[in-house]
Homo-oligomer: A and B are copies of this chain.
Amino acid sequence: MARPRNFDDDVVVERAMQAFWTLGYANTSPAALAEATGVGKGSLYNAFGSKRELFERALERYDRLGAEVTAELLARPGTTRECLRAFLYDSVKSDLAQPIRRGCLAVNTAVELAGHDPEIARAVRRGVDRTMAALEWRIAQGVRDGDVRPDLAPRATAEYVMNTLAGLRVMARTYDAATLFRIADTALAVLDSA
């Protein structure tokens, strides 16, 4: 009945996400998006409405993929501490693996846009809350299993771990691997019974 799209939305959103992640929102021009996605500017606007809306799609995707990775890491066998360690290490490692340090899209977005765009702020918050809920759940399990100090409140501890991750994502911009891993280890020491 009509001409079909000759690209896959998911693929385009994925590529746009990579571009936004690497360059930042403001520095990713429509031309850059066209280049990165292999789709003409016109088609992008036809399909997604605006740069802003495409960004929201990209952020959503990032949150969803991140939540999947987190869930997988936290569901692995091992002590709570091992799981949280894997959680922190994993993000540091994937950061360092990139040729240019791009940090975390959620953190970048919180810093670049959350202050001036309440809707984006809510989207970021939703994603972070989701990860934090997973952490809380895993920590609560650790308390039940007895491998976490029973006096730790799962909620507060989850917030704390999340905060540590946010810090690491920023520190990864300028510090080396050894420092980052050392920070992660120091942060996790709080979980140990003394």
Please list the residues of chain A having a beta carbon within 8 angstroms of any beta carbon in chain B: 22-24, 26-27, 100-103, 107-108, 110-112, 114-116, 121, 124-125, 128, 156-157, 159-160, 162-171, 173-175, 179, 182-183, 186-187, 189-190, 193-194
Contact = CB atoms under 8 A, between A and B. Distances in A.
Given A26-B24, A101-B115, A163 B167 contact: yes
11 contacts: A103-B115, A114-B173, A128-B174, A160-B183, A160-B187, A163-B183, A165-B167, A166-B166, A166-B167, A166-B170, A194-B194
A182 B159 contact: yes
Given A183-B163, A187-B160, A190-B189, A110 B170 contact: yes
Q: How many copies are assembled?
A: 2
